[in-house]
Chain A
Amino acid sequence: MPADTTEKTPVFDVADEQSIARSKEKLDAHTAEIIAWHFHPSTGSPFWLEYAKTLSFDPLQEVNCFDDLKKFPAFEDEWLRGGPVTRWIPKGFAGQPAYVFETGGTTGTPKSRVNLRDFRTDYEEFSETLPEEYFPKGANWLMLGPSGPRRLRLSIEHLAQHRGGICFCIDLDPRWVIKLIQKGWMEHLEAYKDHCIDQAITVLESGHDIRCMFTTPKLLESLAIALEKKGTTIREAGITGIFSGGTEFTPQWTRFAVEELLDGAFMTPTYGNTLMGLAASRPVVPEDGYTIAYYSPQPRAVIEVVDFDDTNSVVPYGGTGRVKLTTLTKETFVPGFLERDEGERELPYAKYPWDGISGVRPFSKLATATTVGVY
């Protein structure tokens, strides 16, 4: 058990010290492997090989464990904007089919991440966390979330396929939604939401035997209420399992959804983005005050909750800090990316014996400039 635990007695199964130590060893070994790949002249990406020339240390020699990553200067998210995106593809993967996924981009050049197979791997690993009872293998899925140049659309489809099902999708452009909010065109916003929900209900009513769904909290609310107006429910429409994500996933919202929207369908919150992949949550239960705690897919990605001013120091358990993300896959290396979110550091969970984060919300110092909860 780590020394600086929270005062409140945890109601979940806290990881034991051996498991925590093992996961740490695994992370260190994985970090060294990823560094060796990204900074070796024969396999590394043009970006990192060029960047290494500007460093005062040799990553191949001096980065041997996760903590050694602190030697890197802060990662600047501006580097992710613009082209050529091929600068991010490791030479070891040259010639392989590549995808580019974008994030943000309401105005100006969006940030992007090149993917070869990472999104498939992330969602295959996440698939293992889904309970069969609610997400049965072979079931068909509905993807009611952002489409277009986003990783999510293909990822959910791959998840459905990986589990033996087919994914039905609707179109949703979150950049247009953000513009509608910024312009104050609330009637158009409602109309666009209704347009998406109408399509979803049509798919659900068309005999496709859809039992699983990805959606966002806002769209889940709208879908549930639209179905109620038709005299039915999400559960009666055939849905048994929902996975959902977004920073508006608060304990109160989850409680409301469980008590009043889902009609017994199972919902698992997730926290994810184009850089990280997908962080699963530990079970969200009333006894834990509907606390939503996420655990990153270590060792492929690591979330740290760091001090707002000293971003190389994690806050004590239960303390509030900014989300710092490190991506460690052979396709993508991003050390210490400071996300636009904050939250509380959570104790390692038995199933995920490393640090978690709860109460994820937009970073308070940036929140006024951020439009959230839009789709």
Chain B
Amino acid sequence: MHLTAFRFGKPYESLERNKLVHFMTGEPVAEVSQVGGAIVNRDLRKAENARKAILKISPEEIVERLQTAGNLYALGTVEVGGVKQSPDDFARQQSATTGLPENLCLANMKKNLFVLSNMDRMLDALSRGLPPEVFWRGYGTEHRDVVVSYQAQSPVLGLVLPSNSPGVHTLWLPVVALGIGLLLKPGGQEPWTPYRMAAAMIEAGIPEEAIGLYPGATDVGAAILASCGRSMIFGSAKTVEQYRGNPAVQVHGPGFSKILLGDDCVDDWADYIDIMADSIAANSGRGCINCSAIYASRHTHEIADALAEKLGVEEVRAPDDPEATLAAFTVPGAAKAIWEQIDGLLDKPGVRHATAPYGSRFVEGERCGWLRPTIVECDSPDPEIARAEYMFPFCNVVKCPQEKILDRIGPTLVATAITNDPHFQRELIDASHIDRLNIGPLPTIKLDWLQPHEGNIIDFLYRSRALQMTETSAVVSTATAVPAQSGT
């Protein structure tokens, strides 16, 4: 199977190809054409065509086609790399190159299907009920009879996608429905979702000129980030820091998601162990929404032990085992290096490795490695490991007085706060370093797709601005346009 680059409707076979092999057997799985950043820069000169192609179709029709695409993607057989690919083929291939168990690959497909199936509701929620044609025409009248204008900030959204977290793809699925094209740099080991989704979208009638697939080395990502009017990148804390303050780049890094137990509920901690365990271990702990720390003022020893007992026994299983929960680290030496780093932090004062009684956490394979769920108890937020996040089920249980929790947790993508204390709830709502807030016993991994995730994508892709037209200027709904006045 050869996955060619796709230059907004034109397949492009590169002379350079990346060979993808099975993470356990080393058997070839696919070849992926590799292009350079200059091709991206050159094609971006005509990026307007991507948006124009979408705008030729009504927004309602685009949403319907995306729903069809969702069904094709999740349930149908589509042609990818010149080969017919069923959902099971997809899961096998994705698992083979990413190390994620096949059952988790299939579960991620369902998430993507859910988002595409509910695209109309999502857009309605994210746009706060704006008529979708506002994004097509650039202006329109909202339900309060007020003229609004939304100006596209880029004809395409560039995406530098990761290899290790197939769950992130839900973030870019609404983009075409907002009248914006897609320029995707697939992850080196995970080209599968972008390629299958693109094939499903095109088969469902999304214009092929609206989608670009540019697999390649880091210079492709650099070109996307430098040249797209709007782009997203998924990376480390360093990457986050690098693009902080750049309005053209939305960067998704480690989530440092947490569960915070209020003093009023902490004595009932045992009632929430399942929620905690799910938050830590779902999707093999690879997501930014997986819980990496639990904060409580007391019972941290018992909580850590209970989680260790529940998760510490998880064993490595074959990727096609329906019971498999742990993803492999497919880069040789990576799992070992991560474990050595963790191990070096475990013998510090105030730190206890709660999963130690359940056997070695590091499991070495012939060509890869695994890390079994690891629970660490910290007697305060001070130890370095208390702020750590890793790409496997790893969680710190941190002892911290409730009044200091918000000062100590640091940036938090998802916080689940289990408390009925109105004062604490108020502080949590006001805490600007928490992005998504769940109040009550909700797993951190449970996302309401009708609410924004790390910022509203509409606010990222569009600028809400004033647009006034005189009555003679025609096309605006003049009945509602307010006459222009001087001054403010």
Contact = CB atoms under 8 A, between A and B. Distances in A.
A256 B38 contact: yes
B222 interface: yes
Interface in A217-231: 221, 225, 228-229
Interface string B11-53: 0001110000000000000000011111101100100000000
A263 to B, nearest CB: 13
Given A184-B242, A186-B222, A186-B242, A260 B42 contact: yes
A225 B42 contact: yes
Contact of A252 (B36, B37, B226): B36
> Chain A: interface secondary structure?
helix
Nearest to A184: B242
A142 B38 CA distance: 22
Interface string A247-285: 000111101100011000000000000000000000000
B238 interface: yes
Contacts of B378: none
A252 B38 CA distance: 11
Contact of A221 (B41, B225, B241): B41
A261 B38 contact: yes
> Chain B: interface secondary structure?
helix
B38 A255 contact: no
Contacts of A164: none
A221 B41 CA distance: 9
B16 A251 contact: yes
A290 interface: yes
B32 to A, nearest CB: 13
Nearest to A220: B38
A190 interface: yes
A346 B477 CA distance: 71
Interface string A229-257: 10000000000000000000011110110
A255 B41 CA distance: 16
A184 B242 CA distance: 6
A373 B225 contact: no
B61 interface: no
B38 A229 contact: no
Nearest to B36: A253
A2 interface: no
B219 interface: yes
Given A184-B242, A186-B222, A225 B16 contact: no
A193 to B, nearest CB: 9
Contacts of B222: 186
B306 to A, nearest CB: 42
Contacts of B36: 221, 252-253, 256
A228 B38 CA distance: 13
Nearest to B241: A184
Interface string A280-297: 000000000110000000
A184 B238 contact: yes
Contacts of A251: 15-16
Contacts of A255: 15
Contacts of A186: 222, 225-226, 242
Contacts of A225: 38, 41-42, 45
Contacts of A252: 14-16, 34-36
Contacts of B241: 184
Nearest to A228: B45
A215 B35 CA distance: 21
Nearest to A250: B16
A256 B225 contact: no
A289 B226 CA distance: 31
Nearest to A181: B222
A221 B45 contact: no
27 contacts: A184-B238, A184-B242, A186-B222, A186-B225, A186-B226, A186-B242, A187-B246, A190-B226, A221-B37, A221-B38, A225-B38, A225-B41, A225-B45, A228-B42, A229-B45, A252-B14, A252-B34, A252-B36, A256-B35, A256-B36, A256-B38, A256-B39, A260-B42, A261-B42, A289-B15, A290-B15, A373-B219
Given A229-B45, A260-B42, 5 more contacts: A221-B38, A225-B41, A251-B16, A252-B15, A252-B34
Closest 7 CB pairs of A and B: A221-B38, A252-B15, A184-B242, A252-B16, A251-B15, A225-B41, A252-B14
Interface of A: 184, 186-187, 190, 221, 225, 228-229, 250-253, 255-256, 260-261, 289-290, 373
